[in-house]
Structure 1
Amino acid sequence: MTTGRDHAAQKVRRADARLNRERLVAAAHEVFTEAGPEASLNEIARRAGVGPGTLYRHFPNRKALLTAVLRDRVQALCEHAEKLRTTDSADSALTQWLRTFLAHARANHGMGSALMVNEPGTPDLDCHQLILNAAAGLLTRAQQHGTARSGLTADDLLRLITGIALSTARDQDAEPAHRLLALVLDAVYAVPRQSR
């Protein structure tokens, strides 16, 4: 029979476990950004202030941790798209989100291939579909307003921006990526972009 004290202790343990998981994901964000997807898991545990055993209780393998980090990043990217859809003009929203997506693609270019490793017990994550849905919503809105070219698809845009990210991945300076994005944006819009 569970007493009130036992119930309170269980709640504390669950809260501690949730906090440890949040710390691990936050530390993994930092370490993967600095050192790439092959970064030391021990360093992630150290920065989170937990032991390696705690890390492996929450994330049985590297792919599970990478998936958690990428899920957070993709969720933030998609939430940003939704916010832009409700607060900005159609073409400004699309432009701002494509800039954000380019930064995302440059920062996470090594994580996609690391997630291709098939390890048991790892949750699946369809990042591409989530991002494609976000891009499609913004592009469709811009097309309905008559600012974006009607024949363009969200998949076209993602391929173009991903291509820019891959071709400029080794550049420390983001300027070449921004120049290429400006050329793509000039092709995206059916009308001149003086006000964008």
Structure 2
Amino acid sequence: MQSRSPAKRADAERNRGKILAVARAAFAGSEPHISMAEISRRAGVGMATFYRNFASRRALLETLWTDEINAVCEAAETASGETPGAAFTAWLRQFFAFSTSKHHIAAELLADAADAADTAGTAGTANGDRIDPVIGRNRARVRAAGQPLLAAARRTHEVRHDLTLEQILDMIVAIATINGDQPYLEPIFQTALDGLRPPAADAKPS
């Protein structure tokens, strides 16, 4: 079979990019239940083009989720600040921005996983949660990316030692699901960051 010309490949990439841009904006805003037909219409592509790129709604959601996780993991490699603690905080802020804009996608993926488990008659995880495989796999990637930042911040006594990275990230995800806009959520998030500092007795001596 003859391969597509460079011009056709470029056109296909543009169409895929337009679909993702429209979907990303819709799910980050107030349209988590937007239809695939509406995404296709706003992107200016036909449904056939849409389904050539994404065979299902789930395929689109998985791509959006994984693309953002890639960005979060890459940010961990380039996070910077005046101190290791500042670098860790900067990365947590990026993770918070991701969590607030993508919690609708996570909710739909988890609901889909729960429905599939119910249909198959399988049990959830040990704590009763059913973790979607895409979310579970990418959670592990985020933890692996952020662990060196946390370790460095602990070595300089800027982050307490009694919380794991998973607990810290779970706290941020929980804040991101609170019903409220950014000005409402920001002081809550900042309070959580303040709580990561070690107690005075454990702080590095001056």
TM-score w.r.t. length of structure 1? 0.79
Shift of residue 88 of structure 1? 4.9
Specify the alignment match of 1:151 in structure 2: 162
Specify the alignment match of 1:171 in structure 2: 180
The AA in structure 2 aligned to 1:100 is Q
Would you say the 8 A contact 2:27–2:104 is kept in 1? Answer: no
Shift of residue 66 of structure 1? 0.9
Specify the alignment match of 1:19 in structure 2: 14
Would you say the 8 A contact 2:27–2:101 is kept in 1? Answer: no
Runs of at least 5 residues in structure 2 that lack an aligned partner in the other structure: 117-132
CA RMSD of aligned residues (A): 2.6
Distance in structure 2 (CA, Å) of the matches to 1:88 and 1:43: 45
Matches within 5 A, 1:131-150: 131-150=142-161
Question: Is 51-60 or 28-37 further displaced after alignment?
Answer: 28-37
Would you say the 8 A contact 2:40–2:47 is kept in 1? Answer: yes
Runs of at least 5 residues in structure 1 that lack an aligned partner in the other structure: none
The AA in structure 2 aligned to 1:91 is G
**2:197 counterpart of 1:189:** yes
Specify the alignment match of 2:127 in structure 1: none
Shift of residue 191 of structure 1? 6.5
Identity %: 31
Would you say the 8 A contact 2:37–2:47 is kept in 1? Answer: yes
Distance in structure 1 (CA, Å) of the matches to 2:95 and 2:70: 12
Would you say the 8 A contact 2:150–2:165 is kept in 1? Answer: yes
Would you say the 8 A contact 2:29–2:101 is kept in 1? Answer: no
Q: 2:37 aligns with which of 39, 42, 64?
A: 42
Measured against aligned partners, the alpha-carbon deviations of 1:39-73 in whole angstroms (never above 9, x if no partner) come to 12122112222111100111011110111111122
Would you say the 8 A contact 2:28–2:104 is kept in 1? Answer: no
SS where residue 37 of structure 2 aligns?
helix
The AA in structure 2 aligned to 1:43 is E
TM-score w.r.t. length of structure 2? 0.76
Specify the alignment match of 1:98 in structure 2: 92
How many pairs align?
A: 181
Measured against aligned partners, the alpha-carbon deviations of 1:57-96 in whole angstroms (never above 9, x if no partner) come to 11011110111111122222222222115x6521111112
